A and B are shown apart, each in its own frame.
Chain A
Amino acid sequence: MSVPYAKLPGWADYGLIPIINLLVAFLVAGVVVLLVGENPLSAAVILIDGAFGSGQNIAYTLYYATNFIFTGLAVAVAFHAGLFNIGGEGQAYIAGLGVALVCLTFDSVLPWWLTFPLAIAASAAVGALWALIPAYLQAKRGSHIVITTIMFNFIAASAMVYLLVDVLKPAGSMAPQTRDFFDGAQLPKMGWLLESLGLAVRSAPLNISFLLALLMAFAVWVLIWRTKLGYEMRTFGFSPKAARYAGVSESRIIIIAMMISGGLAGMMALNPIMGDQHRVALDFVAGAGFVGIAVALMGRSHPAGIVPAAILFGVLYQGGAELAFEMPNISRDMIVIIQGLVILFAGALEHMFRAPIQAVFASFSPRSVGVAAPKGEGA
């Protein structure tokens, strides 16, 4: 074990290990399904069918995936700078305030294609501002970003409950939510995309914020791997000392990375609010901020990994809803378990299978491990 981080070929590092981690997470989830007295295999079949069985199901899967692309990218950008932004949930929730203000102001005046850019800017700005405070406190006052962002999740939740119950709720209404938006703040559906393939979509809420999510995935790739700022962020994340020596300003990187991260998390609010519910309701984020952690870990913080990982979680959400229908013992909370197991095996225990795999690789060809290890003792 004296060389724990010997190099594996890229396909093993980015393909094999995540797949093994994922398989183990699903195996353990299967044990839970057994414990509640259902058959894991038929559960898996129902889940897959529920996610891909019809055009409508696919559209729902992609609708959920949209949320997770935004939050997964948010976590990933912070990861690259060595920061753990656990506050995506709160940043997305409070960003709903920005979306609400834009939509309530302009929805009867402007068409959607003018409201949408304003709402994007507002959601990103509010999310970024909510991340700015923890970032500033980390950069200038040394408070731990994980703890402050957790605290900010709770503060955001309290603030939004207060705003929805006491401020934004229309007079005479009982439900703690804003009034319904007019057409000017409703995003066009994207059902035509699937309908052109001959699939029936009906009323599934897949909308153009899916395209925005893909665009952001590309933008994050450009930012992290093709710009000077991205290079500085990765350097800082890899070795803060080296970055400091190279003249990179620590507090600048922390603040910028966290604001980008918060902005991406904030944009998640657009999808459920403008694309589906057409109002801001309590708890519309529904855990997507936390799913982002699992998505970023699964996708190895690379947009090319995050998009498939987000779709995987979209499958779990949509398929899980169908599963809850078919198997009364399994509610949607099954997804929460799977999410936790993925975070555990792909995140915290990512090194568990690495050493044995490296040993296997070393036994095939010692040189592939990149160390002059004596035979049979690779990792």
Chain B
Amino acid sequence: MEFVGIMLQIFDATIRVSVPLLLACLAGLYSERAGVFDIGLEGKMLAGAFAGASAAAVTGSAWMGLGAAVVTAVFFALVHGFASITHRGNQIVSGVAINFIAAGSTIILGQAWFRQGGRTPSLSGDARFGAITLPGADAVRDVPVLGPVYSELISGHSLLVYVAFLMVPFTWWVLFRTRFGLRLRAVGENPAAVDTAGISVTWLRYRAVIFTGVLTGMAGAYLSIAQNAGFVKDMTAGKGFIALAALIFAKWKPVPAMFACLLFGFLEAASIRFQGLPWPVIGKVPVQLINALPFILTVILLAGFIGKAIPPRAGGVPYVKER
């Protein structure tokens, strides 16, 4: 029974740490499926986290925080779009730039506005998204196995957690069951064909990067006003890149993306829980190895040793209508 308790704790933590990865990963999915590479997920998440925590601290409302996070991340997404769609700049370079601008400006503005060494004031009450107890969670708590699973693992998370997991079927539906999704995928594979059909490649790609902005903003807001009680500098700490790794790992598909994020989240949760303790079978593992595992796994996958990850064909290539 104690084992079940520990596993429940780890799975619960897995869900918590997977959510920002999942939101950022789905964000990248829209952009990259439309043929716009985005290594600026990290920066947009960070900017969103900062804007969200700042707005929530000033207004005292978590919803205002979420709104500010989304608006800020969409702004950065539009900068990326402006550079890489309108001006056909290098998408990687633009993403790198956005990561730096976000990393620097969150610290400078945070220090200037709040004077707490780059932190935002600690949030409490309505300024955070609190845990939601799902109906019947307390009633079934004593039912063996399924009771704790429902009341502890599934119930008791903040709103954004449920939104993140609902975004998975929603994204699948948008991409594979709507006209917009079909065109979005087409513009990432063969933009000329989409153009020939009389559909604006530019506008489609802009809509994709706006989606990316909205979701990275939500990921940032989750970090600073749901999972934690405020912004601390560099709080994304590479999560945007782990999300990117998960996206490749999932071969640019929404449902596998969820499992990839859960896997990477599980590694993180387990490495925190078992820090310094010997693992079953393999003995003691340095925590740094566990931290590097998502990146190592992605490299191995990209190398084609476990399956093959084929990116959208027009990814990274600016579309030139005519010359």
Contact = CB atoms under 8 A, between A and B. Distances in A.
Interface in A142-164: 142-144, 146-148, 150-152, 154-155, 158-159, 161-162
B76 to A, nearest CB: 11
Contacts of B299: 137, 143, 148, 151-152, 155
A337 B105 contact: yes
B284 to A, nearest CB: 11
15 contacts: A4-B323, A32-B105, A137-B299, A137-B303, A141-B304, A143-B299, A144-B302, A144-B311, A146-B92, A151-B245, A161-B288, A331-B107, A339-B104, A347-B90, A351-B88
A341 B99 CA distance: 10
A297 B93 contact: yes
A13 interface: no
A351 B89 contact: yes
A337 B304 contact: no
B120 interface: no
A348 B90 contact: yes
Interface of B: 37, 39, 79, 82-84, 87-94, 96-105, 107-109, 111-112, 238, 241, 244-245, 248, 286, 288-289, 291-292, 295-296, 298-299, 302-304, 311, 322-323
A320 B99 CA distance: 20
Main secondary structure on A side of the interface with B: helix
A125 B299 CA distance: 22
Contacts of B298: 147, 151
Contacts of B295: 151-152, 154-155
A293 interface: yes
A330 B94 CA distance: 25
Contacts of B101: 336-337, 340-341, 344
A317 to B, nearest CB: 13
Interface in A293-348: 293, 297, 329-331, 333-341, 343-344, 347-348
A36 B109 contact: yes
B74 to A, nearest CB: 17
B302 A336 contact: no
Interface of A: 2-4, 32, 35-37, 84, 86, 137, 141-144, 146-148, 150-152, 154-155, 158-159, 161-162, 166, 290, 293, 297, 329-331, 333-341, 343-344, 347-352
Contact of B79 (A148, A158, A344): A344
Given A35-B112, A344-B79, A347-B93, A159 B84 contact: no
A348 B111 contact: no
Contacts of A336: 100-101, 103-104, 107
A86 B5 CA distance: 43
B68 to A, nearest CB: 16
B100 A339 contact: yes
Contacts of A337: 100-101, 104-105, 108
Given A154-B292, A347-B89, 18 more contacts: A32-B108, A36-B108, A86-B96, A151-B298, A158-B291, A159-B292, A330-B108, A335-B104, A337-B100, A340-B102, A340-B103, A340-B104, A341-B101, A344-B79, A344-B98, A348-B87, A348-B91, A348-B97
Contacts of B105: 32, 337
Contacts of A339: 100, 104
Contacts of A335: 104
A32 B105 CA distance: 8
Contacts of B244: 147, 150
Most buried by A among B96, B102, B304, B322: B96
Given A35-B109, A337-B101, A158 B289 contact: yes
Contacts of B102: 340
Contacts of A86: 92, 96
